């Protein structure tokens, strides 16, 4: 029986409404909508959560409130527990990217959930015990306590990569770049530039001219010019050359 629901986020005994709201907002940013609260300290609804959610609850995030974790796990077939300590429990372990990939691969075999503990104390051991997976982030061991909503954010961003965007290993693309300029256009641009520099008396002394040209070309070539940018640059050279010409005409008069 295919169950194509996105993973649920479970907050176990969250304390601050602000964090619940911020978690809901970042869930919605990355396409997640099933938020389950186990024994929220300040009850529900919570005005601080509403404020921090930036409208996420109206934009599709549903909240259910449960007295126990067991009740919150209804319909959950795979459960990952976010934890900074591995606790010596025998479980599979991975980072947020691996958890997101696993949750994604399991879509169709039941809903998954990612569970986060309270702000100060994290998850209790009996909650970690029923998880299938420990999700842990590579944090600085000297300063490893993440804000709760930030911890939720890290998973959600990985979920977004899996479902909404390019995978990390394909992530460096050139969507914003136009057609790269062919080399011959670059050469014509260099020659145009050097020609005008020559006229301006830039290349001096003559025996250093080749080296000066090479240095200029080496610097310019790194810019990965597009055709449009080559046109723009050549326009700039032309404008400079004309301006200089005019100035000289004035001086010559």
Residues binding its own copies (CB under 8 A):
22, 25-26, 28-31, 52, 54-56, 59-60, 86-98, 101-102, 134, 137-140, 142-147, 149-150, 153-154, 157-158, 160-161, 163-166, 168-169, 171-178, 224, 226, 228-229
Kindly give, in sequence order, each residue whose CB lies less than 8 Å from that of residue 57, ignoring residues fewer than 6 positions away: 24, 50, 63
Nearest approach in angstroms of CB 248 to its own copies is 32
- CA distances in angstroms from 62 to 109, 160, 248, listed in the order given: 22, 18, 73
Q: Which two tokens stand for residue 142?
A: 């000297």
Nearer to its own copies (CB atom), residue 158 or residue 194? 158
Return the CA Rg of the chain. Answer: 29
Nearest approach in angstroms of CB 93 to its own copies is 4
Please say whether the beta carbons of 145 and 180 come within 8 A.
no
Distance CA 211, CA 209 (A): 5
- CA dihedral in degrees (175, 178, 179, 180; nearest 10)? -90
Q: What is the DSSP string of 11-77?
A: EES---HHHHHHHHHHHHHTT--EEEEES-TT-SS-HHHHHHTTTTTTTT-EEEEESSHHHHTTTEE
Nearest approach in angstroms of CB 141 to its own copies is 9
Nearest approach in angstroms of CB 108 to its own copies is 17
Nearer to its own copies (CB atom), residue 150 or residue 209? 150
Nearer to its own copies (CB atom), residue 180 or residue 212? 180
Nearest approach in angstroms of CB 231 to its own copies is 12
Nearest approach in angstroms of CB 81 to its own copies is 11
According to DSSP, the residues that pair with 38 across neighbouring strands are 12, 66
Distance CA 84, CA 203 (A): 62
Nearer to its own copies (CB atom), residue 55 or residue 210? 55
Nearer to its own copies (CB atom), residue 10 or residue 152? 152
Nearer to its own copies (CB atom), residue 140 or residue 253? 140
Distance CA 252, CA 179 (A): 43
- Token look-up 């295919």 returns 2
Nearer to its own copies (CB atom), residue 147 or residue 209? 147
Q: Which two tokens stand for residue 24?
A: 């809901």
Nearest approach in angstroms of CB 59 to its own copies is 5
């Amino acid at each position: 029986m295919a169950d194509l629901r996105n993973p649920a986020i479970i907050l176990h005994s969250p304390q601050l409404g602000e964090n619940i709201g911020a978690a809901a907002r970042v869930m919605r940013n990355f396409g997640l909508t099933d938020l389950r609260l186990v024994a929220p300290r300040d009850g529900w609804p919570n005005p601080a959560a509403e404020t921090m959610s930036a409208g996420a609850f109206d934009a599709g995030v549903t909240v259910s409130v449960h007295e126990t974790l067991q009740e919150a796990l209804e319909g959950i077939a795979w459960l990952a527990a976010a934890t900074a300590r591995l606790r010596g429990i025998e479980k599979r372990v991975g980072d947020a990217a691996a958890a997101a990939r696993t949750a994604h691969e399991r879509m169709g075999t039941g809903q998954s959930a990612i569970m986060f503990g309270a702000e100060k104390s994290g998850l209790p051991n009996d909650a970690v015990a029923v998880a299938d997976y420990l999700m842990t982030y590579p944090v600085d061991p000297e300063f490893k306590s993440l804000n709760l909503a930030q911890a939720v954010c890290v998973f959600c961003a990985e979920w977004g990569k899996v479902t909404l965007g390019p995978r990390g290993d394909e992530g460096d693309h050139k969507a914003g770049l136009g057609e790269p300029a062919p080399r011959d256009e670059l050469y014509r641009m260099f020659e145009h530039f050097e020609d005008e520099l020559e006229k301006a008396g830039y290349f001096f002394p003559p025996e250093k001219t080749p080296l000066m040209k090479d240095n200029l070309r080496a610097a310019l070539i790194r810019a990965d010019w597009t055709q449009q940018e080559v046109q723009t640059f050549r326009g700039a050279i032309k404008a400079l050359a004309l301006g200089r010409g005019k100035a000289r005409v004035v001086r010559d008069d």
